[in-house]
Chains A and B, each alone.
Chain A
Amino acid sequence: MVATVPLLLCGLVAGAACSRPARARRAFHFWRTTFSLTAGEKEVLRQHHVERLYLRLFDVAWDYATSRSLPVGRCAFRDTVPTGLEVVPVVFLSNAVFEHQPDPALAGRVWGLTRFSADQAGFTFSELQLDCDWSDSTREAFFAFCRSLRELATQASVRLSATIRLHQVKYATRTGVPPVDRGMLMFYNMGQLGPAPARPSIFNVKDANRYASFVNAYPLPLDGALPIFSWAIQSRDGKVVGLLEKSAAASLDAVPALRRLDACRFQASEATFLHGAYLQAGDTLAIESVTPELARQAATTLGRHFHPRGAFAISLFDLDERNWKTYAPQDLEALWSAVR
């Protein structure tokens, strides 16, 4: 007995020294309304042994004309999901849905349409993710919806997860913790949007550090999402009027109506349509890009504060080739490896 204890202790110490930190399951988000992968996107999934795809299946919006919630922007599947890739369908719900009279049938409808859509697209799923930036006034309604949906999902052995934004991590007591099985921490969109913001709004270390220390204490098991996207903040007369997604500075140089002001800013010298937006003469565009270096900073910052217990995934937002084509393979590898 006496000899056993030191042996046990040694065993424990040896075990601790020999145990490997958990490895992140590699994932991407897919956020287009048509599911169709380019050759490059297929290759990046293969090359990096990506295991999981968080795929936006549809949104739920509030239709003011008929006073009810409706599914919109359903993902149309032109391709099949690559073999071996696990799909986590994501349903985005606008806050407005929960600002109105609660609909007890909503959870059943979301569940039904998710299963129907997955059937139609030819994939099965063991996790369903909800994306909703709930507020103080919609918290109870959203959480009630989560409880109902979780019951349905559990019966089908499906986990339910929800996106968790940074302010919800830091102020969990006030914002509440949704009644789901897991959270997906969105480690981006942390700064103030503005025509000439002091710090980038997608990711910056200073704002990240205000939230990151709260991550490990969050009462749900978490996965993480890191940014690799870019956008352009459209401003007019000093006010932000829009966002152009996936807008890189290099591509804007080719637009005749735009004049470059500096490394990251352009101004419309005449009115022009651009990628679905409309710029009036004089509007400015301030580009924010998550470069490989910035993405690595994001991953490192998260990695310093986030030590998951159990299996977890790190997803890059998002798979669109325009986002990662400036990343070398090792740049992407570093992002998945940063959290252990």
Chain B
Amino acid sequence: MRLKIWKLFGLLCASLLVAAIPRAALACGWSEPEVDELTFFAPEIIRQPNALPFFYRPYSSFFVPDRTPADLTALNLREWDEFFQHKLPSKDWSELLYPAALPRLDNLIFALQGKPDHRPGADDAPFMAYTDREPLIAALCYVGFAKRVEPFAMEGFAEWDWSGERRPVDRTARDKAIATLIEAGGKALAAAKIPFLRQRYALQILRLHFYRPDPAAGVKFYQEHQSDWTGESSVTWRAIGYGAGCLRKANRKADAAGLYAVLFDRFPPMKVSALTSFRPKEEREWRDSLAQASSVRQRTVLWQMVGILTGDPRAIKEIYAIDRKSDLLPLLLVREVNRTEVESRVTQDSPTKERPALISFIESVAKKGDVTDPFLWDLAAGHLRALAGDSAAAKRLLLRAAGRAPQDPVIQRQLRVSRLYATLQGMREPVPADEPMLARELKWLKQEAEKNHSTRLSSFLIWSRERLASLFLKHGDVLLSLCLADENHPLYKDPTQIERLIQFLRKPNKSAFEQFAAASYARNESSLRELQALIALYAGDIPKAAALFEPLKTDALNADPFVIHIRDCHDCDAQDPHHKRYSKTEFVRRLDALLRQAAAEPAKAAELYFEIANGLYNITYYGNSRVMYDNAHFDRTPPTYDCSHAKAYYRKAMEISKDRELAAKAAFMIGKCELNAYITAHPDHLDYAGGAGFAALRDSYPDTRYYKEAIRECGFFAKYLEKSKNGR
């Protein structure tokens, strides 16, 4: 019913970006390209691993599958391991903490307490062996409480599950149960002597408050127990998260924002959830959040969060104005570079035209260099100038970047990529003197792409080859162009030109650049020679085709190309288990042999011509062996729709045959060739008036068995006869 904003944006982006996708990224059906396929600027140069979920992505949400659950679980288990002084196997504790049911837990507690009639279970040995029983029992009692809290906490997650089998929830009873648990938890908290467990009891009680309809009570509890959550344990951060949640539910959104900012800034496992929870809805909320920020740091964090959420480049300027040395700037910077790259592909416009204010800002900051990593700004500015085609300015900026960049391999790689990008963008024609440098850089790029399994570098390599290919083509060097980026070119229709390409591939002592180009070429000599042979074959020159095919190892045809029927059934022919099998080479060899035999044995010529005709028919689009022309760049239109060569041999067979049945067959097949030509020209083929073949069959062979078979099996022929009778 409604058009969701995200769906609309996605659809708009999808439709706009189809045209801009690199050739290599296209497949049979369109799927959203990854940002790595669309950009050449690696955001990883900022060297902030926790920023990964927030790198720019034009389609998907920036939420990579949330790392939080696994990260928090691992962290929690490490903390428990510390608590147990590494004396309790983590695997056993994890089993008890997470999947184990309450009865087992309760039984274990009683067993540890020495209560009669409570024996430990088979898996409880490590706990029974643990010497420090008091804290262990206290920990187990806490776990029992936490497991009782969990169903209320997970109830919200039933939102995300198909739980139609559950009984309806009685809300009054539920709220009462929560209140009871809070009371029990409060008592346990009051009695808890171990700070590690106190923190956890307090967290569980806070969670219960969060899931009650009275957020004010949750806020009160959070504020009263903040001193329980000290240090940097996972519990502290999770408590901050729930505290923020209670504040948000209590409509104290600015206060909540402050806590989300703390979480986002300082606890990586909850960065994504902090950001998604933060989302301001109205301007007042946002301004209040900023106004209440408790520190410069918090203000800049809030701006970074807004910058990521909204994509507004304003955020980067605000942070720069507040704190030029902020480590929050680089993420927003690389996001803007990637966004500009993607948008330029869509609009085909230069970024200097689309986003002049942004470019100007980045360059001015780069020039001032008063940020923490000025080389990043030089590199970003240089890359954007390269994108804009301003090679000279790009190179100046990149040179400055190189002067102040660290020797980090990721950064150095990006510098080299951006320099090559600037060079290629600035080229207007191929210059022989540049070729050694290009060969070196492209070879390096290919190695880096393969070594790092990098989609981005592979995309850049493809782009680079295509860029050079277009320059070579424009300046007349077709061979290098096709090797760098193959395409359907008229060269592939001309056997002489194909031969030139073959000779280039075979050329000894190629230059480094020529070697790179030849190695980039997707095809090999054998496939080009097959192409030459196919051109000869479909031109009707059987002896030449046979000579060209002879040295080649070729694929098999999938049916016997010499069988023919009134009604074609290609699948039937292919599935016939007894069909004779031919490779392409063997097929053409046989055609040639039949031709020579026909010349040498005139008495058999009619049958031989008929067989040749069948073979030539079946390698057209209409026949059972059209795989014959499976060869990239073989121009299928018109030769593969052309039955004229087959028709010529059917005519020869008809004219000289002494066997009237064979002649009738040949006449019908002439008619079929003519019908195919008609259908190709008239796709609706509603008004086929017949041709010479049907006429010959009607007039000269009405007494044959084949004639009767043709009427029975071929509706076109039957209709033709009826029209003939009616004088139409």
Contact = CB atoms under 8 A, between A and B. Distances in A.
Contacts of B281: 273, 275-276
Contacts of A256: 283
A274 interface: yes
Interface string B321-332: 000000000000
A317 B1 contact: yes
A273 B166 contact: no
Given A120-B169, A245-B2, A281-B314, 20 more contacts: A29-B1, A70-B162, A71-B160, A90-B1, A94-B7, A109-B164, A112-B164, A112-B165, A113-B163, A163-B1, A193-B8, A237-B354, A243-B5, A243-B8, A273-B283, A275-B281, A275-B282, A276-B279, A278-B310, A317-B1
Interface in B502-548: none
15 contacts: A31-B2, A70-B162, A94-B7, A109-B164, A111-B164, A237-B354, A240-B8, A240-B12, A273-B280, A273-B281, A273-B285, A274-B283, A276-B279, A278-B312, A280-B314
A131 interface: yes
Nearest to B66: A65
B1 A280 contact: no
B242 interface: no
A70 B163 contact: no
A99 to B, nearest CB: 10
B159 interface: yes
B276 interface: no
Contact of B1 (A131, A237, A239, A240): A131
Question: Could you say which of B65, B163, B283, B310 has the most chain A C-beta atoms within 10 Å of its C-beta?
Answer: B283
Nearest to A73: B159
A274 B1 contact: no
A241 interface: yes
A109 B162 contact: yes
Interface in A254-305: 255-257, 271-278, 280-281
Interface string A48-74: 000000001000000111100011101
A329 interface: no
Nearest to B287: A273
Contacts of B164: 109, 111-116
A70 B161 CA distance: 6
B510 to A, nearest CB: 47
B688 interface: no
Contacts of B60: 64
A31 B310 contact: no
Contacts of B169: 120
A274 B314 contact: no
A253 B662 CA distance: 89
B348 to A, nearest CB: 14
Contact of A278 (B8, B161, B309, B354): B309
B159 A71 contact: yes
B444 interface: no
A339 interface: no
A70 B159 CA distance: 9
A92 B309 contact: no
A239 B12 contact: yes
A137 B481 CA distance: 38
Contacts of A275: 281-282
A119 interface: yes
Contacts of A242: 5, 8-9
A29 B2 CA distance: 12
A226 interface: no
Contacts of B8: 193, 240, 242-243
Contacts of B314: 271, 280-281
A186 interface: yes
Interface in B586-616: none
B71 to A, nearest CB: 15
A241 B160 contact: no
Shortest Cβ-Cβ A-B pairs, 3 listed:
A112-B164, A116-B164, A109-B162
A175 interface: no
A189 interface: yes
A300 B66 CA distance: 51
A116 B168 CA distance: 7
B3 A243 contact: yes
B282 A280 contact: no
A131 B2 CA distance: 10
B617 interface: no
A280 B312 contact: yes
Contacts of B310: 271, 278, 280
B260 interface: no
Contacts of A116: 163-166, 168
Given A72-B159, A239-B12, A271-B314, A119 B1 contact: no
A29 B5 CA distance: 20
Interface in A89-124: 90, 92, 94, 109, 111-116, 119-120
Interface in B277-311: 279-283, 285-286, 309-310
A240 B12 CA distance: 8
Interface string A70-84: 111010000000000
Contacts of A257: 283
A277 B282 CA distance: 8
Contact of B65 (A65, A240, A317): A65
Contacts of A237: 354
B492 to A, nearest CB: 34
Nearest to A64: B60
A31 B1 contact: yes
Contacts of A119: 168
Question: Could you say which of B5, B161, B162, B282 has the most chain A C-beta atoms within 10 Å of its C-beta?
Answer: B162
Nearest to A59: B4
Nearest to A229: B2
Nearest to A78: B213
Contacts of A255: 283
A178 to B, nearest CB: 16
Interface string B255-285: 0000000000000000000000001111101
Contacts of A241: 9, 12
A53 to B, nearest CB: 14
Contacts of B280: 273
A29 B66 CA distance: 35
B282 to A, nearest CB: 5
A322 to B, nearest CB: 15
A92 B309 CA distance: 26
Contacts of A240: 8, 12
A109 B314 CA distance: 45
A281 to B, nearest CB: 7
Contacts of B279: 276
A131 B165 CA distance: 23
Contacts of A271: 310, 312, 314
Question: Could you say which of B1, B60, B164, B314 has the most chain A C-beta atoms within 10 Å of its C-beta?
Answer: B1
Nearest to B306: A278
A310 B160 CA distance: 40
Contact of B160 (A70, A90, A163, A273): A70
B162 A112 contact: yes
Interface in B1-56: 1-3, 5, 7-9, 12
B659 to A, nearest CB: 51
Question: Could you say which of B3, B164, B310, B312 has the most chain A C-beta atoms within 10 Å of its C-beta?
Answer: B164
